[in-house]
Amino acid sequence: MNLGIGRLPFKWLDEIVNLAAERIVVVDRDGIIRYINPAYCEFLGTTVEKATDQPVQDIIENSRMHIVAKTGQAELAAIQPINNSEMIANRYPLYIEEELVGAVGTVMFKNPQEWWEYSKKIQPILDELNYYKNNFEKGLTSKYTFSDLIGTSPEFIKSKKLAEKISVNHSAVLLIGESGTGKELFAHAIHQNSPRQHFPLVRINCASIPEHLLESELFGYEEGAFTGAKRGGKKGKFELANYGTIFLDEIGDMPLAMQSKLLRVLQEKEIERVGGQTPIFIDVRIIAATHRNLEKMVEEGKFRQDLYYRLNVIRIEIPPLKNRKDDIPAIATNLLRKLENRFHRQGVEMSFEVLNKLMNHKWPGNIRELENVLERAINVLEGTNKIEMKHLPLYLQDDQIYMNGYQVLHNENSQNNIDGIETVRPLKETLAFVEKQAILKALKITNGNKQKAAKLLGIGKTKLYDKCKWYQIK
């Protein structure tokens, strides 16, 4: 006969929970603790009375229970640092009559001794995790969160909310946006808000690495794989990012041959080092970014269609600064606060005239250009904390002449002299014209290949793209 659980006294149920679940906590949709058992409280150094009705993140170190209660996405066997130990946490969304009402969390192992016994069995994994932490902690962690993504424009808020919503999952993400819009900041924030946050975030710029080195950089190599190969071989970026996230910036510049190898990694979830014989399993989330039109590249045969669909699971478009002018004051103020720390200054502000100029500039270089302008201004401040027009770069002081000067010089209908007297054009106009002509000539020589043109001109590829936008060179 089934008597049902309702026949059990509450004290029995409480003790059963303590015995079976070890440490358990229940929160509501707002992340407020509604139940926590004594075993968990004892481990945390608190009491049931003190912990109940408090925000879970105030009671449990590194808790993500409030996030699971919002998203409804379970997080199983997640490593959670608590009290200088790394515990294994399970977090489940709590549904009652198909309505999400909160979340239930459990932590395995009742005491450090149990954890130690188990850790000996998984020592190889722990050793590798410690290797990551000790040797790559500074370079392979996320530096930004969603709170660092400044802006209130509808288009930007839409992108930010989508990024925050999907961050808790493991699907591939494709970030689309002009150079300097903050694609890398989005990648950092997504990783930081994900279950992979305690593992590495590895970043690689696909456009900055020579084609013949890209494979070994991504997948690593075995000892003796080629002349100059490091003794003992070397781990590639994908191995370093195992259980974490890899950010592939400028994915549109990846050579076709490498695209097919990347596709295999996404399909098979394994890599093979250069010169290696044995596949290596990897669990990595891919975040890719580009300023290029991948759909057009697919049509032109310059980007693999199957890879495009693999990467384009979740597409997030980041608007350029020119489309969110109302965000400029907040972004500029935030950048100034960061620059103040770097330059050991306090209370730096902008004049109304400067702010007005920033609001009306076209910002072809987006937020990166804005940061450079403000950094330059702070560098030349003298005896004042207020940025005036004289502290801005010359092209911003009179940006219309700088941006359109080449048009004046290139206008075949414009007069080169007045009453037979040859005129002298302003230096800014002349330099702009000469610079544009040099870029056009380099592109003509390289048949439109911007990477080769940038090498001819002795500048970086990203800088060349910015200048092409500046001068409206297609």
- For 344, the domain range is 321-397
Domain-terminating residue out of 343, 377, 397: 397
Residue 133 maps to a domain: no
Mean pLDDT per block of 10 residues along the chain (474 residues) reads 59 71 87 90 90 94 92 85 76 91 82 61 62 55 88 94 94 94 95 91 88 87 76 86 93 91 91 87 94 94 94 96 93 92 88 92 92 91 89 74 44 43 61 82 84 83 83 80
Query: What does DSSP assign to residue 179?
Result: T
Q: In angstroms, rounded to a whole number, what is the distance separating the alpha carbons of residues 305 and 94?
A: 40
372 with 465, same domain? no
The pTM assigned to this predicted structure is: 0.61
CA atoms within 13 A on the CB side of 57: 9
176 with 191, same domain? yes
312 with 328, same domain? no
Q: What is the three-class DSSP state of 415? A: coil
Phi, psi of 207 (to 5 degrees): -90, -20
154 with 291, same domain? yes
Q: In angstroms, rounded to a whole number, what is the distance separating the alpha carbons of residues 453 and 205?
A: 19
Residue 276 maps to a domain: yes
Residue 175 maps to a domain: yes
282 with 409, same domain? no
- For residue 24, what is the domain's CATH number? 3.30.450.20
Strand partners, 173: 287, 314
Q: In angstroms, rounded to a whole number, what is the distance separating the alpha carbons of residues 338 and 320?
A: 21
Residue 137 maps to a domain: no
14 with 150, same domain? no
353 with 237, same domain? no
Residue 124 maps to a domain: no
Residue 138 maps to a domain: no
Q: In angstroms, rounded to a whole number, what is the distance separating the alpha carbons of residues 142 and 203?
A: 10
38 with 97, same domain? yes
282 with 179, same domain? yes
- For residue 196, what is the domain's CATH number? 3.40.50.300
Query: What does DSSP assign to residue 32?
Result: B
Decide if 27 contacts 103 (C-beta within 8 A). Answer: yes
- For residue 419, what is the domain's CATH number? 1.10.10
Decide if 251 contacts 259 (C-beta within 8 A). Answer: no
Q: Do the bridges between strand 386-387 and strand 349-350 make them parallel or antiparallel, or are there none, so unpaired?
A: parallel
Decide if 148 contacts 52 (C-beta within 8 A). Answer: no
Q: In angstroms, rounded to a whole number, what is the distance separating the alpha carbons of residues 237 and 140?
A: 10
78 with 167, same domain? no
- For residue 374, what is the domain's CATH number? 1.10.8.60
Residue 393 maps to a domain: yes
Residue type at position 324: R
The number of distinct structural domains making up the chain is 4
Residue 163 maps to a domain: yes
Residue type at position 370: L
221 with 85, same domain? no
Residue 96 parent element (H or E): strand 85-96
Give the other-Cβ count within 10 Å of 43's Cβ. 20
Q: How many helices (H) and strands (E) does the chain have?
A: 22, 18
Give the other-Cβ count within 10 Å of 110's Cβ. 16
Taking only Cα atoms into account, the Rg of the chain, rounded to an integer number of angstroms, comes to 28
Domain-terminating residue out of 371, 397, 423: 397
331 with 204, same domain? no
Domain-terminating residue out of 397, 419, 435: 397
